[in-house]
Amino acid sequence: MTDGSLDGLFDGFTERDWRSDASGTVRFAMIGLGWWTKEMAMPAVTDSELCETTVVVSSSKERATDLADTHATVEHGLTYDEFHDGVASEAYDAVYIATPNALHLQYAETAAALDKAILCEKPMEATVERAEDLVTVCEDVTLMVAYRMHTEPAVRRARDLVNSGFVGDVVGVHGAMTQRLLDMFDDPNHWRLDPDLAGYGASVMDLGIYPLNTTRFVLDADPVSVSARMDSTHDAFADVPDERASFRLDFDDGVTAVCTASQNAAQSSHLRITGTEGELELDPVFFPDEPRRLRIRRGDLDATLDFDQRDQMTEEFTYFADRVLADEDPLPDGEHGLADMKILRAIYEAGETGAVVGVADEL
């Protein structure tokens, strides 16, 4: 790669380079029946050759049983209490936890006690302490945190390019994720705006975690310190510090990632990695409903790669199921997600104090 050749690198652009020869079906209990679960996760499970939804769990018995009645593979519609009581636990092998952040721990705890594999949405929990408890209770079961960028083909190829030296030494990263949350939910009491449910804040916890985690993944490195600036003006953001946020991740050798995130801005997402020899840009990248695009530049080469778009959620569920069936540990495991939680806490502390906050000792 040091000669800048791309020979062979893109032959298997969307190939599942992580796929083992395991086969079978992982049966899921879906915990939390919000729009994300119903419109994004469950269709992805249906599309995955290794997954099936057999149980749904909701605060409303009616919503759960209605869904069970109308969905081809769902056998049981449970309340949260029934889930905690172990009802129909023989009907599923794994759980997908897509509740508000601060509720992840309790469902993970029950799932682990029932010896189920766990795919838990990110951020892992509302606070570092609760995330640590989550890792502890899941010690004896498979735990994956749902970072769908880890199996996004464009992100994986960007990572391959960085690892192979295509951009030379990485010098700096720009990343952003913004969306108009209030248009999406039309609910000023949405849980992402409630610190009791969301945790440290609204924009960095929910969106900033994408450039944060994807930078860690693509660079295969963790930051040593962070700084941040945050501001909330809109009434709906009165309880969280970060209607608008920017944060910097400091890696070794003077490499920085500068990131922005806002739940109250036009939808946009990108990740740009600049090196001594070239540059990669993913734009858009983080939203599942937009086609991903990878631009690569080096010397006279400036190409935007065209490739089959993969459904990010199908890839994620299939990867998780493959790991479970192959009895292998998933890469974005509990420790990996816990590191993000510690970095997120540091970012919010930096946003509050203005200081550079070290994280190297904690990771």
Contact residues toward its own copies (CB under 8 A) are 167-168, 171-172, 174, 176, 178, 180, 227, 229-233, 243-244, 246, 248, 250, 253-256, 258-260, 262, 264-266, 268, 270, 272, 274-279, 297-298, 354-356
In the complex with its own copies, which residue's Cβ is closer, 178 or 312? Answer: 178
In the complex with its own copies, which residue's Cβ is closer, 170 or 338? Answer: 170
In the complex with its own copies, which residue's Cβ is closer, 105 or 273? Answer: 273
User: In this structure, which amino acid lies at residue 225?
Assistant: S
In the complex with its own copies, which residue's Cβ is closer, 79 or 179? Answer: 179
Q: CB of 290: closest distance to its own copies in angstroms?
A: 10
Q: CB of 245: closest distance to its own copies in angstroms?
A: 8
Residue 134: CB partners within 8 Å, gap ≥ 6?
104, 105, 108, 109, 120, 124, 125, 143, 334
In the complex with its own copies, which residue's Cβ is closer, 123 or 278? Answer: 278
Residue 42: CB partners within 8 Å, gap ≥ 6?
30, 53, 71
In the complex with its own copies, which residue's Cβ is closer, 140 or 183? Answer: 183
Q: CB of 149: closest distance to its own copies in angstroms?
A: 19
* 353-351-344-162 Cα dihedral, nearest 10 degrees: -120
Q: CB of 168: closest distance to its own copies in angstroms?
A: 7
Q: CB of 246: closest distance to its own copies in angstroms?
A: 4
Closest CA to 148 of 36, 251, 274: 36
In the complex with its own copies, which residue's Cβ is closer, 106 or 264? Answer: 264
Q: CB of 80: closest distance to its own copies in angstroms?
A: 37
